[in-house]
Structure 1
Amino acid sequence: MDVASRASLKVYVSEWENGRRAISDRYAAILRRLLGVTDAELRASPSASEPTMADGYDELLARIDSARSVSESMVKAFNDQTEVLRTMDRERGASALVDQMTGHLARLEETLTFAVLPSARRPVALALVGASTLAAWQAIDAGAVDRAWRHYELAKRAARDAEAPMHLAHATAEQAYVLMEAGRPALGVDLIREAQRTLGGEGSPRLLAWLHAAEAELCAHAAMPDDARRALDAAAAVIPPGPEARDPGLASIFLNGGHLARWRGHVLAILGDGGAVSSLYDALEAMDPTFVRAQAGLHIDLAHAHLARAEYDDAHAQVRQARLLANRTGSVRQRRRLDLLSSKL
C-alpha cells in the first residue's frame, strides 16, 4: 500500500499516540489489521449519542418488519459467513479479520434486536452464538481480553434467548480461557465445572468430551495435576469413535480422537511430563495442515515437552518453527507463550 516514508511514519505514530494527530480512515484500516483491534478500540468512540427523535416510530416499525421477514435462507447466509470467517481465521489468523467480524456481529445483533416473536428470534440467536464465540476466541488470540469477555457475554445472552443449553454451556466454558489468560486459571476451572453442572450430562458426547478436555487444560494451568489427568480420562471415555470432528449441533466444536490426543499432549506438556513428546509428534503427523494456528500451538507444546526432558536443541528447533507459524497468523497469544518459553531456554 502507498504509505508515508519510514521517517514520516515515526512522526505520525508519535502524534497518534499523543493525540496530536487524528488517525485517517486509510491508516485506520491498516492499523486495525496490523493490531487486530476494532475501530472503536483504535479511536475513541463519540461520547454523546444522537438525540432520540420523538417521531422515530416509522423507522422502528421498518426495522421490526425487516427482522420479521428474515428467512431460513438469510439465517443460512449468516451461518455460512461465520463458517467462512472461521476457516479464514484457522488458516490466516484473527488480526486480518477484525473489520469483517465486527460488521458480521453488528448485522446479527441488529436483526436479533428487532425480531419480536420467539420463532423469528431463535434461529438468529443461534447464529449470533456461533459468530460471537468465534469473535471472542479471535479477541483472545489478539490479546484483547476485555473484548473477548464481552463477546462471550453476548454469546451467553444469545444462547439463553435461543433456549439452547448446549450452546450456553460451550460459551460459558470457553469464557474460562479469558480468565486463564488473565492469570486466574483456578477461577476458570470453577466456571467450566459450573457449565458442566448446568448441562447436567445432557449434552452431545462430543460436547461433553470437549468440556472435560477444557477442564483438564485449565486444571493443568491451575497446578491441579490429578484433576487434569482425571478430566482427560473422562474426555477419552465419552469421545465418539471415528474421524468425524464436527458436532452436528455445535459448529464451533472440532474434536475427534486425534484432536483429543493432541489436547492430551498439550496438557501433559503444561504439567512438565516428558512423556508428552511421543503423543505430540503423533498428533503433528496427523494434523490437518490448514489448522495453522493449532499447528503453531503444537510446536510450542513440543518445545515445553523437550524442555522438561532437558533436550534443549530440540526445544529450540520447535520454538523456531512455532514462531514462524505464529508470525503467519499474527497470534499475540502464541507470541506471548513463545516469549515466556524462550526465557527458560
Structure 2
Amino acid sequence: MEHGWSQERLVHEIERYARQRRLDVASTPSLRVYVSEWENGRRPIGPLYASVLRALLGLTDRELLDRTTSVGSVVAGYDELVDRIDSSHNLSLGMVDTFMAQTELLRTVDRQMGAPALVDQMQAHLAALEESLTFAVLPSTREPIARALAGAATLGAWQALDVGATERAWRHYELGKRAAAEAKEPMYLAHAMAEQAYVLSSAGKPDLAVQLAQEAHRTVGGKASPRLLAWLHAAEAELLAQAGRPDDCRRSLDRAAGALPSGDTDRDPDMLSIFLNGNHLTRWRGNVLARLGDDNAMNDLYAALAGMDATFTRARAGLHCDLAQAHLAREERDQAVNHLRQARLLANRTGSTRHRARVDRLGADF
C-alpha cells in the first residue's frame, strides 16, 4: 500500500479526512470492502473517493481511474512533488493578490447574501491556499501565502459559525491562528483568537471566552492598529456582557470608543478583515447595552439603523434583533414584534442560523 499503510489504516485516514471536511462517506465495514476491491481492480473509484484519495495519497486522476492501476501500485511521486514545490516557489506576488481578491469577493457576497451559498467556494479557496503553503519552502514565499490564508480562514470560520457549523468554525480558527503565526502577523492572530472566543461563548463557556479575548489583547501587545484595538475592546465588551459582568463590559466599551480613529472610514488599511467606524461602534454598543437590559441601548440602535449601509444585510438582521430585545425590556411588545418580523425576514434571506435562533429565542417571550 502507498505510504506503507495497511488497508485498515487507509480506511481510518479516509474517515478522518471526511470528518474534518464534513463529507458523507460509507460506513467503516463498507469502506473496508471498497478498499479491498479497489486494490484488486474489482470496483471503480467514484468522484467523491477519488478526491479523497488524491489528497491522502498524492495520486493523479489518471492513476486513480485507470482500470489497470490499483491504489497500492503507484510508485513514489517525486516528480510530482518537485513540480508542486517549483510551482509554489514561483508563486508570484500577483498570485497572492489574486487569492486576496477572491477572499474579498467571498466577503462581499457573504455580507449581502449570507454564508450558506458559499460553503463549497470557501472550502475550495482554503484548500488552494493550504496547498500552496504546504509546498512552499522558503519564508519569503511562505509568509505572504500564510497571511492570505489567515485572513481567508478567519472569514471561513465566521461564515461557518453563522450557519451553525461550530466544529468547522473552530477548525478554521485554528487554521487561521497557525497561518497568522507563520506569517508573523500578530494582528491576524489576535483577531482570530478574539473571534474564536465567540464559539466558546455560544457553547456555554462565557468566562473562558472572556479569557481568550483578553489573551488576544496580550498577544498583539502594542502592535495593534488603533482600529483593531477598538475592535478588540468592543468584542471583549460583548463577551463580558454575555458573561454577566456589566461593569467590566461598560469599561471595555469606553476603551473601544477611546481607541477608535475619528472619521467615516471603516476599513483598517493594516488589516482588511476589520470594518469599524463610529456608526458601527454605535451599533455594537447598542447591541451590548440591549443584552444588559440598559435603556440607553435604544438611542444607539436607532441611530445605527439610520446610518447603516444597506449592503450589510446580515448585520441589519442582528440590529433588528437588538431593537426587539430593547423594546421587550421596556415591555413595548408591538414594536418588538415589528422588529422581530423584519429580523426573521433578513435572517431567512441570508440563511443565518445564528440570527434565526436568536429570533426564535426572543419570540418565545410572546
Please give the range of the TM-score, normalised by the shorter of the 2 chains: 0.7 to 0.9
3-state DSSP of counterpart to 2:272: strand
* Structure with more contact order per residue of length (Cα contacts < 8 Å, sep ≥ 6): 1
The question of 1:197 aligning with 2:201 is answered: no
Match of 1:175 in 2: 196
Match of 2:329 in 1: 308
* TM-score normalised by L of structure 2: 0.82
Q: CA deviation at 1:332?
A: 0.4
Please tell me whether residue 73 in structure 1 is matched to residue 88 in structure 2: no
Match of 2:12 in 1: none
Change (3 A) 1:169 1:40: closer
- CA distance in 2 between counterparts of 1:260 and 1:39 reads 35
Structure 2 runs not aligned, ≥5 long: 1-18, 27-48, 58-70
The answer for the alignment partner of 1:328 in structure 2 is 349
* 1:270–1:304 Cα contact (<8 Å) kept: yes
User: What's the offset of the Cα at 1:202?
Assistant: 2.4
Tell me the equivalent position of 2:22.
Answer: 41
Does structure 2 retain, via aligned residues, the 8 Å contact 1:193–1:215?
yes
Q: State the partner residue of 1:289.
A: 310
Q: Quote the residue 1:160 is aligned against.
A: 181
Corresponding position: 1:142 with 2:163: yes
Which whole-Å deviations, capped at 9, do the CAs of 1:279-312 have from their partners, x for residues lacking one?
1001000000000000000000000000111111
Paired residue type of 1:80 = A
Percent pairwise identity: 62
Q: Measure how far apart 1:274 and its partner are.
A: 2.1
Matched, 1:218 2:239: yes
SS across alignment from 1:200: helix
Q: List aligned pairs for 1:1-345, cutoff 5 A.
A: 40-44=21-25, 49-50=56-57, 54-345=75-366
Distance in 1, matches of 2:334 and 2:192, equals 39
How many angstroms does 1:344 deviate by?
1.6
| Inter-partner Cα distance in structure 1 for 2:333 and 2:114 | 29
Do the aligned partners of 1:201 and 1:208 also contact (CA within 8 Å) in 2?
no
> Residue 199 of structure 1: CA displacement?
1.5
Distance 1:64 1:267 in 2: 48
How far residue 225 of structure 1 moved from its aligned partner, in angstroms, is: 0.4
Deviation at 1:39, TM superposition (A): 10
Following superposition, the deviation at residue 55 of structure 1 comes to 2.0
| Shift in Å, 1:213 | 0.1
TM-score (norm 1): 0.87
Q: Residues 85 and 137 of structure 2 are in contact (CA less than 8 Å); yes or no, is this contact kept in structure 1? A: yes
Could you tell me how far apart the structure 1 residues matched to 2:145 and 2:21 are?
Answer: 25
Contact 2:327/2:336, CA 8 A, preserved across alignment: yes
**CA apart distance, 1:182:** 1.0
Amino acid in structure 1 at the alignment position of 2:198: Y
Q: How many residues align?
A: 308
- Partners of 2:311 and 2:244 in 1: CA distance: 32
SS at structure 2 position matched to 1:252? strand
Asked if the contact 1:274–1:306 (Cα under 8 Å) also holds between the matched residues in 2, the reply is no
Which has the larger Rg?
2
Aligned-partner Cα distance in 2 for 1:177–1:193: 13
Does the Cα contact within 8 Å between 2:20 and 2:168 map onto a contact in 1?
Answer: no
